[in-house]
Amino acid sequence: MKISSKLRIFLIIFFISIFAVIAARHFIGLHFKKKFSVRPAPGVIVTEVEKSLFYKSIETFGTAIAQNSKTYRVKKDNIVGNLNIENRFVKKGELIIALKDQKNIIADFEGKLGKREIAQGVLGSSSLIITLDDLKKIVIDIKIPENYVSILKPGLKAEITNSAFDKAFKGKVESISSRIDPSTRSILARIIVNNPNFRIIPGQLMTVKIIYDEINQIGVPESAVTIQGNTAFVYVVKTDTVEKKNIKIGKRNFGKVSVISGINEGDIVISEGVSKVRDKAKIKIINQ
């Protein structure tokens, strides 16, 4: 009798435990189903596919030289009156310095004046050098590796920059040497740079970017493109969902990638939040 009572109690506890486990799993399942079955659409930033200028470039550096320059050597005790040189601009034929021996210094061309003291013992402690620089255009001679010989040609665009300036100056390739330097395996090219407001001064080290193979083509931000092996794709927005589109990409400039095929100008693509979406998934656009 005692054994049957214990068995009965054990069976009751056993079945109650099983029922409790089943019930717990059921209610926990309902909880998570309710919580995760309907996920909110991820927020993304989109951009319109539009045409941009893409190109290849050769980057090097060179020293700025005045397009035309001349130096005049004078003795201080031969100068008539006060010396007016620093940051002075003169026109062609204008008097630069009047001298006691009547051999006055006249500007051979329009430009900016400067002076440089000469060390004692070179031309005498009382001597100085007057410089005249034509700064309307600047010359930069650069060396380019020989593997670019087939690309270089007069007239190619050039962008010239320096950390001292907040803008790029425009220039072009004026001439190219007829020979390759066998010691450096490079070819010499001359760049002519427009110098508005005479901001570039001779002697500055400038970064030169020669532009070639330009093309106006549709492009998207680099962040919009996902590359998997040999395949590249973007997500194109279709109302409130997205469609995965395989694309063929080309050049890269300024954080954008040119697109040769796969999408069209005017399409809207996801530029930020790509990792949160999947093909045919709903999305929420959070930018205008």
**Mean pLDDT lowest for which of 115-119, 131-135, 188-192?**
115-119
Query: Structural domains in the chain?
Result: 43-54+216-285 (2.40.420.20), 56-62+137-215 (2.40.30.170), 69-134 (2.40.50)
Mean pLDDT across 125-152: 90
User: CA nearest 115: which of 130, 125, 126, 104?
Assistant: 130
Q: What was the pLDDT predicted at 239?
A: 84
Q: Could you tell me which residues are beta bridge partners of residue 64?
A: 140
By CB neighbour count within 10 A (0-12 exposed, 13-18 middle, 19+ buried), where does 53 fall? middle
pLDDT of 174 higher than 50 = yes
Q: What was the pLDDT predicted at 257?
A: 92
Q: What was the pLDDT predicted at 141?
A: 96
pLDDT of 191 higher than 60 = yes
Q: What was the pLDDT predicted at 152?
A: 93
Q: What was the pLDDT predicted at 170?
A: 95
Mean pLDDT across 64-91: 84
Q: Using an 8 Å Cβ cutoff, are 249 and 232 in contact?
A: yes
Please work out, in degrees rounded to the nearest 5, the angle formed at the alpha carbon of residue 106 by the alpha carbons of 108 and 88.
Answer: 85
How far is 130 from 127, CA to CA, in rounded Å?
10
Task: Give the pLDDT band (50/70/90) at residue 1.
Answer: very low
Q: What was the pLDDT predicted at 248?
A: 94
Q: What was the pLDDT predicted at 128?
A: 81
Q: Which residue has the tokens 């740079």?
A: 193
Highest mean pLDDT among 113-122, 187-196, 276-285: 187-196
State the chain's maximal CA–CA distance in angstroms.
145
DSSP code for 118: -
Could you give the C-alpha distances from 230 to 35, 65, 220, 246, in angstroms and in order?
Answer: 38, 47, 18, 11
First vs last Cα of the chain: how many Å apart?
Answer: 81
Q: What was the pLDDT predicted at 125?
A: 58
DSSP code for 110: S
Could you give the C-alpha distances from 212 to 55, 137, 151, 189, 225, in angstroms and in order?
Answer: 6, 22, 8, 15, 25
Mean pLDDT across 105-123: 73
| Secondary structure E strands in 99-230 | 105-106, 111-117, 127-145, 157-161, 169-181, 186-194, 205-221, 226-228
Q: What was the pLDDT predicted at 99?
A: 85
Q: What was the pLDDT predicted at 117?
A: 58
How far is 277 from 116, CA to CA, in rounded Å?
66
Helix (H) or strand (E) holding 15: helix 2-36
**Mean pLDDT lowest for which of 12-26, 133-147, 148-162, 271-285?**
12-26
pLDDT in tens, 78-92: 888 777 787 788 899
How far is 136 from 159, CA to CA, in rounded Å?
17
User: CA nearest 96: which of 71, 116, 118, 119?
Assistant: 71
pLDDT of 121 higher than 60 = no
**Mean pLDDT of all residues belonging to the chain:** 86
Mean pLDDT across 45-50: 91
Q: Which residue has the tokens 């990638």?
A: 257
pLDDT of 12 higher than 70 = yes
